[in-house]
Amino acid sequence: MKKIKTALISVSDKINLKPLLKILTKNKVKIISSGGTFKEIKKLKFKCLEVSEFTNSPEILEGRVKTLHPKIHAGILNKRNNKSHLKDLKNNNFENIDLVIVNFYPFEKTIKSTKNHNKIIENIDVGGPTMVRAAAKNYKDVTIITSSNQYEELIDQLIENNGSTTLEFREKLSRVAFTETAYYDAIISNYFNKISSTLFPTKKIFYGNLVEKPRYGENPHQQSAIYSKNLRMNLKQVHGKQLSYNNYNDIFAALTISKSLPKDTGTVIVKHANPCGVSVKKNQLESYKSALACDPVSAFGGIVSCNSKMTKKLALELNKLFLEVIIANGFDTSALKILKTKKNLRLIDAIDFDFKEILKFTSINEEILVQSEDTNKFTSKDFKIVSKRKPNSQQLKNLIFAFNVCRYVKSNAIVLAANKTTVGIGSGQPSRLDSCQIAINKMKKFINPNNEIVAASDAFFPFVDGLEKLVQAGITAVIQPSGSIRDKEIINYANQTDTVLVFSKTRHFKH
């Protein structure tokens, strides 16, 4: 146990101070504070000694230097059972500080609310993290509080232990404190990397807030958690049981495609992180039905993501199928009422979800592979028509639509489309030829399209056989990246069969 006799309080977030001050006063704890916190404590009518009076040194540099003083840090850092330390304190007329309550300048909040660099710099806390690190290092003798969320537990400790705290409690708070300083510095580090356009610095700092711990990972024997740079995700679950690791994985896959579609348009159906149907027809109900028709068997137990607000008509249709998750940009009241009749169905409002600074992480052991995401919007400049036969405007739109979907399908990927709707998807095969066959088989099994069918490949065809298989299945236009040593052979075959062939200037593998 360690008796608390002197406390230093310096907080940016001044919420819920009164109950804490009451218990400290009741236990006759000497309170030291500075700046706005000192004024707040006095306003609440509690006794408090200003830091400048305690150190006999005025605040200087417009408040940049106030707690950075030997009397403060010696009071925090000295080992209470070390004779040399006790002698130093006595010779300098310093005293112990047993409790440090600090939270930092709101740097994270500031960078979200302004682009004023000078204002942002002034919200980098120096004294606060320094005191926190000192107190956390000396947890055997000092209690460190870094959040108002910890006040209640501290109060309980003081009541139960007659004004003292336990070593176990202090050790736990020390761990949290070092996490807080690391998190704070990570945000600052990332800010400076961002403004200097340094995407991959020599040392990369990752940070996040725990959002949720699903019951398990991909399989029951695995543990999992989801973190966000924000205090909460910009996805809102409005109904249903807890999301699983696999749910989140599928949700992210679905949203990646949905948000690449035209604004407020389109439906994506995902199963095991792969799309099994996509349509961008403007009518919401027609769009869903078209996406479902691409592969209604795989859609069972999958995820539907609507890039628009959920309507009653669509909700009634969705209720006919067993689904794990439904995502929409908000829900009509009537739609919500219909969908909530299934108690386990998870409903996700993604109206606030958007792609920002996107980096994709893959890890194994202590190694982390990082890349920027493949989310750039396609324009006509990204493609080159290489066949003698030129695509009409409708064909070109369908080709670009199919190519956009294709980049979100596990490679090797082939996507067949008609009327801005997928009609066959072949995914995740070691052989591109096999992916072609799977896409064709899906089309023949579920759809008999009346319109011309186009095909997209996420990488070039290394041989003519892939293109040949598509043409023999009735595909009239193909889009693929260039770059093969046999590109001329592919072009020649397209010309021989009067097939439209469009080359993309970029490849779009998704491994």
62: left (phi over 0), alpha (psi -120 to 50) or beta: left
| 147, 41: one domain | yes
Q: Report the pLDDT averaged over residues 449-453.
A: 82
For residue 261, the enclosing domain spans 234-349
Cis peptide before 412 (omega within 30 of 0): yes
Domain presence at residue 47: yes
Nearest to 416 by CA among 434, 394, 391, 398: 398
pLDDT exceeds 70 at position 357? no
Question: How far is the C-alpha of 317 from the C-alpha of 292, rounded, in Å?
Answer: 11
Domain presence at residue 202: no
pLDDT exceeds 70 at position 361? yes
Q: Please report which confidence band the pLDDT of residue 384 belongs to, taking 50, 70 and 90 as the band edges.
A: very high
| 243, 147: one domain | no
pLDDT exceeds 90 at position 139? yes
Distances (CA, A) of 419 to 112, 173, 256, 494: 41, 60, 21, 22
Q: β-pairing, 209-212 with 226-228?
A: antiparallel
Domain presence at residue 362: no
| 306, 392: one domain | no
| 249, 326: one domain | yes
- What CATH number corresponds to the domain at position 79? 3.40.50.1380
| 90, 183: one domain | yes
Kindly provide the b/e burial profile for residues 360-372, where b requires at least 16 CB atoms within 10 angstroms of the residue's own CB: eeeeeeeeeeeee
Percentage of the chain beyond pLDDT 70 is 100
Q: Please report which confidence band the pLDDT of residue 375 belongs to, taking 50, 70 and 90 as the band edges.
A: confident
Average model confidence (pLDDT) across the chain: 93
237 near 348, Cβ under 8 Å? yes
| 404, 321: one domain | no
Q: Please write down the long-range contacts of 78-85, taking CB distance under 8 Å and 24 or more positions apart.
A: 78/138, 78/141, 79/138, 79/140, 79/141, 80/141
Question: To the nearest 5 percent, what fractions of the chain are helix, strand and coil?
Answer: 40, 20, 40
pLDDT exceeds 70 at position 429? yes
Q: Report the pLDDT averaged over residues 152-171.
A: 96
| 175, 257: one domain | no
| 90, 153: one domain | yes
Domain presence at residue 357: no
| 25, 134: one domain | yes
Cβ within 8 Å of residue 248, ≥6 positions away? 214, 226
The pLDDT assigned to 364 comes to 84
508 φ, ψ (degrees, to nearest 5): -140, 60
| 56, 141: one domain | yes
Dihedral sign for Cα atoms in the order 333, 339, 343, 344: negative
Looking at the structure of the chain, the number of domains it has is 3
The pLDDT assigned to 86 comes to 93
Q: Report the pLDDT averaged over residues 59-82.
A: 91
The pLDDT assigned to 479 comes to 96
Domain presence at residue 43: yes
pLDDT exceeds 80 at position 231? no
Question: How far is the C-alpha of 437 from the C-alpha of 426, rounded, in Å?
Answer: 7
Output the furthest CA–CA distance in the chain (Å, rounded): 97
Q: Please report which confidence band the pLDDT of residue 381 belongs to, taking 50, 70 and 90 as the band edges.
A: confident
pLDDT exceeds 80 at position 33? yes
| 246, 328: one domain | yes
pLDDT exceeds 80 at position 143? yes
Domain presence at residue 228: no
Of 165, 195, 225, the domain-final residue: 195
pLDDT exceeds 70 at position 164? yes
Distances (CA, A) of 405 to 254, 274, 288, 457, 463: 11, 10, 16, 10, 23
| 322, 246: one domain | yes
Domain presence at residue 212: no
Of 349, 372, 389, the domain-final residue: 349
Question: How far is the C-alpha of 299 from the C-alpha of 283, rounded, in Å?
Answer: 20
Distances (CA, A) of 147 to 13, 153, 154: 8, 11, 11
DSSP collapsed to 3 states, 120-148: HHHCCCCHHHHHHHHHHHCCCCCEEECCH
Q: Please report which confidence band the pLDDT of residue 201 belongs to, taking 50, 70 and 90 as the band edges.
A: very high
Report, as residue numbers or ranges, the catalytic residues. 137, 272
The pLDDT assigned to 370 comes to 87
Domain presence at residue 113: yes
What 3-state DSSP class applies to 85? helix
- What CATH number corresponds to the domain at position 306? 3.40.140.20
Q: Report the pLDDT averaged over residues 379-385.
A: 88
Q: What is the CA radius of gyration of the chain?
A: 31
